Structure 1
């Protein structure tokens, strides 16, 4: 189960063992991590807008944080990291690494590839034709990984630890996943045939489910967004040496797990390598360092809170679908939009247009068996509702969870409201406010859109005008 909305919010718990919020705090002490941006302000007296300079601070680099790869490096592992996306998890509005965090670090390779004439450039995160020469980018990623494994198997006795992320093929285009199938199958067949996985633990997974595809608007899609694919392959020698661990892994297939548990599993592997003579195969003495539990340990029955999964990402609800035309559903939806306009965007109304209800897409409810605490106060809420709705003028589609008291009609937005479609450059005016980008529809963007539309319409209109003997005639 995911513990955050995007890649960064999930990969940090997995590889750093910490919440991503610690890595989104702007560094205000170093001018290297700031830039100046012009911002529009509204004069409250004259009601006129004016431009001011604003210094934007980004978080500092990740070099000083506990990247688990460093622990493998300390044990003389040869390390590898590749992510083909330019706007990768560590560089999207962040400062990445000052120094290469691994022995083989392919970021400069990918950046240089994007600048070549052979790459089909496209303005946006994901390219509709992600090719270099006649090869899709995912093929290059797989080829690099196979070469790395092959070379070190032949030339080095040092163990290896590698991370490879592929984004381009599926992040914005769910239908393109089948393009990868054959090449993945070929890679795994080659590795097995050459016996290159005989002493390797292989984790093959996604970081989160698809968040912006139209599938996300369905009930099953909302579950899939929270439950990314995860698989682990262990070698036969490991199975024979640790049979109890294998039983635990089989048991954990049916249990609630998250990226906190994956981090603890990687930490567990480190302990096995570092102190093999005292490693407890039954894991009786295992003590997790986060809210996670190693997957090598039998995970008990637990709820999302004890598993470190925020309420809004919890898949453990038993809800019932409702008619979206019910008055209570419209009331709850309007309460959600009011929360966005007057709570989330309260201090940014001079930059963002107010949102209005366009349509209600889906609604569900769940009867609450226990009292719910909101803002550290216990309130006798009787029902939990989830509403999926679209707003104008941004076209944003949001999912909101609310608590409702049947008798008093009290309504409370219970967890963060999630946006489930792309917002692109519509929130560029508050680019530094990461937590608000999905809500804000910039006044400046809207004005630019209208100006462009006016120019286009004018151009189309004037193209139908001809001058005949100094008389203007308009073509029908």
Structure 2
């Protein structure tokens, strides 16, 4: 709190909307309404004529982006949007002077898909009621930083029906492997080995993501992320060839980002506004439209993920506190919490920045926010599951458990005598959170690698010999770059200084025991290299007799930004450790 300063919310425009889409529930169609008083105000005249037009956004048939925008299509007052139009960029301009643009805007639509009669009938029967699942994700938000920067949101998430998984521990470094674990039950390495190469086009279409199981039991599915340039399955990866879910927002937001003016606030490193709207609002509004359309009608699942205001600055969520809270209140007004299981989550905490200089950095990075809400009817129908969630609040849990919980929901919604679904591939001992987790569970049981495990304490050591650990780790990092054939692009790393070295205190020891005499121990070392002052944090097994270090280089954390250090390569993991010759600073 000594370094934290709350930020002030900023709007993208104070102008009124010239064109507003609204959904006509009788016709089940979107209608574009033009506010002529706004046009008159902009033109300083009610007599000047103007035209409004839009360009439809369509997804490439076999590419995870949008097709070239077609010619403008002009529309008049209360225009009924064709059902095939999923998104549009629109504008209005003066008839006599086409370059005088009154206003531009962009919209994504949740066009109506009729509910199959069988689904509607089944969903209406209380005994067969299928819980909708809405996942509301904010990138890089630890459970601590939620309390620190969004106390109003945190207070909302502690109301009746909510369960915070306070022992929820990430299983990997960044967004991609952590969301892979939740959505597929696979780590990237296991998916590469057992299914397909995730760097090749078409691979993600073959992976058994949770939305495929949900669709099989009658769910309507949606997936939306902001910050299109670094979407989970697109950043240095090929994305999807086939649209993955019934509603998929990436082509729309990619078009908005590419075709419209963007703006960054003074403190921002990522785009804050696209066109007239805050970037994350496109995703959240899409979520609002999706649940309003279907939540009382049929079972739905949606993941709505934002990174634009949280990924690069731990303090920026404070700017958005009331903004995020209002969406939760809107969900409440739309009866989402009457019908749905809601999961408010993150992938990990801050991975670089000022928080990484604090003693709590290790925990900050590894313990993301995770809250699960159960609606009243679900708690009444399955009291044992609510009781288990209450028990699990203070037990060690992981992404793989959440995956199994989603599979459990699919099983509840499926045929009663259907065979059980396969559990998380990379954690055979993981389970649904609707069952009590063992109080003596360890990280291995939860599928959490040693480097990300927060269960057992470490303490600083001051012995002179401890500096050998960082040197050996750097040797291994250089060997890794050489093995990846990156030595011609990436500079050899050399030690600048060691921030700290810590030794793991096993639970069989007292914290104050002197363990410096141990021949073999588990250590953490945080150090800076001379090249571009890059900081790293490694967990290693070190033999004090042989000077041998056992470390998985790909688990070593980079704790300051590497965006400007590794522009010469596109390999997502190697970028963490590579200081390009072309990016080397004096």
Mapped to 2, the partners of 1:233 and 1:255 lie a distance apart of: 17
1:145 to 287, 291, 299: 287
1:312 to 432, 451, 454: 451
Deviations 1:234-292 (A, max 9, x none): 001111111111111111111111100000000000000113x569xxxxx99845422
Deviations 1:44-99 (A, max 9, x none): xxxxxxxxxxxxx7454411110110111122211111001212110111111112
Q: Are the counterparts in 2 of residues 58 and 93 from structure 1 also a CA contact under 8 Å?
A: no
Aligned pairs for 1:244-283 (under 5 A) are: 244-275=384-415, 277=416
SS in 1 for 2:568: helix
Structure-2-length-normalised TM-score: 0.63
| Residue in 2 that maps onto 1:241 | 381
Q: Are the counterparts in 1 of residues 481 and 490 from structure 2 also a CA contact under 8 Å?
A: no
2:214 to 41, 58, 72: 72
Return closer, same or farther for 1:106/1:293 CA change in 2, 3 Å cut-off. same
Return closer, same or farther for 1:348/1:142 CA change in 2, 3 Å cut-off. closer
Q: How many angstroms does 1:28 deviate by? A: 11
2:583 to 441, 445, 459: 445
Mapped to 2, the partners of 1:430 and 1:118 lie a distance apart of: 29
Mapped to 2, the partners of 1:148 and 1:361 lie a distance apart of: 48
Q: Are the counterparts in 2 of residues 311 and 415 from structure 1 also a CA contact under 8 Å?
A: no
Return closer, same or farther for 1:202/1:271 CA change in 2, 3 Å cut-off. same
| Residue in 1 that maps onto 2:58 | none
| Residue in 2 that maps onto 1:412 | 549
Computed over aligned residues only, the root mean square deviation of the Cα atoms, in angstroms, reads: 2.8
SS in 1 for 2:527: strand
Q: How many angstroms does 1:422 deviate by? A: 1.7
2:338 to 198, 211, 229: 198
Aligned pairs for 1:387-398 (under 5 A) are: 387-398=525-536
Mapped to 2, the partners of 1:415 and 1:77 lie a distance apart of: 40
Count the aligned residue pairs. Answer: 398
SS in 1 for 2:205: coil
| Residue in 2 that maps onto 1:97 | 240
Q: Are the counterparts in 2 of residues 368 and 384 from structure 1 also a CA contact under 8 Å?
A: no
Deviations 1:202-224 (A, max 9, x none): 00000111101221232312112
2:431 maps to 1:293: yes
| Residue in 2 that maps onto 1:303 | 442
| Residue in 1 that maps onto 2:205 | 63
2:189 to 17, 21, 28: 21
Q: Structure 1: which 5+ residue stretches go unaligned?
A: 34-56, 280-284, 371-379, 451-476
1:114 to 257, 260, 263: 257
Q: Are the counterparts in 2 of residues 85 and 167 from structure 1 also a CA contact under 8 Å?
A: yes
SS in 1 for 2:339: coil
1:384 to 522, 525, 529: 522
| Residue in 2 that maps onto 1:339 | 476
Return closer, same or farther for 1:363/1:104 CA change in 2, 3 Å cut-off. same
Aligned pairs for 1:347-386 (under 5 A) are: 347-367=485-505, 381-386=519-524
Q: Are the counterparts in 2 of residues 114 and 121 from structure 1 also a CA contact under 8 Å?
A: no
Mapped to 2, the partners of 1:401 and 1:153 lie a distance apart of: 45
Q: Are the counterparts in 1 of residues 348 and 365 from structure 2 also a CA contact under 8 Å?
A: yes
Mapped to 2, the partners of 1:319 and 1:393 lie a distance apart of: 28
Q: How many angstroms does 1:164 deviate by? A: 0.5
| Residue in 2 that maps onto 1:9 | 177
Q: Are the counterparts in 2 of residues 71 and 270 from structure 1 also a CA contact under 8 Å?
A: yes
Return closer, same or farther for 1:161/1:360 CA change in 2, 3 Å cut-off. same
| Residue in 2 that maps onto 1:424 | 563
Q: Are the counterparts in 1 of residues 223 and 304 from structure 2 also a CA contact under 8 Å?
A: yes
| Residue in 1 that maps onto 2:103 | none
Aligned pairs for 1:97-246 (under 5 A) are: 97-120=240-263, 127-153=269-295, 157-246=297-386
Q: How many angstroms does 1:365 deviate by? A: 1.4
| Residue in 1 that maps onto 2:26 | none
| Residue in 1 that maps onto 2:226 | 84
Q: Structure 2: which 5+ residue stretches go unaligned?
A: 1-168, 509-517
Structure-1-length-normalised TM-score: 0.77
Mapped to 2, the partners of 1:94 and 1:328 lie a distance apart of: 42
Q: Which has the higher contact order (CA 8 A, sep 6+)?
A: 2
Return closer, same or farther for 1:228/1:367 CA change in 2, 3 Å cut-off. closer
Mapped to 1, the partners of 2:338 and 2:540 lie a distance apart of: 50
Return closer, same or farther for 1:311/1:415 CA change in 2, 3 Å cut-off. farther
Q: How many angstroms does 1:425 deviate by? A: 4.2
Between stretches 302-311 and 9-18, larger displacement belongs to: 302-311
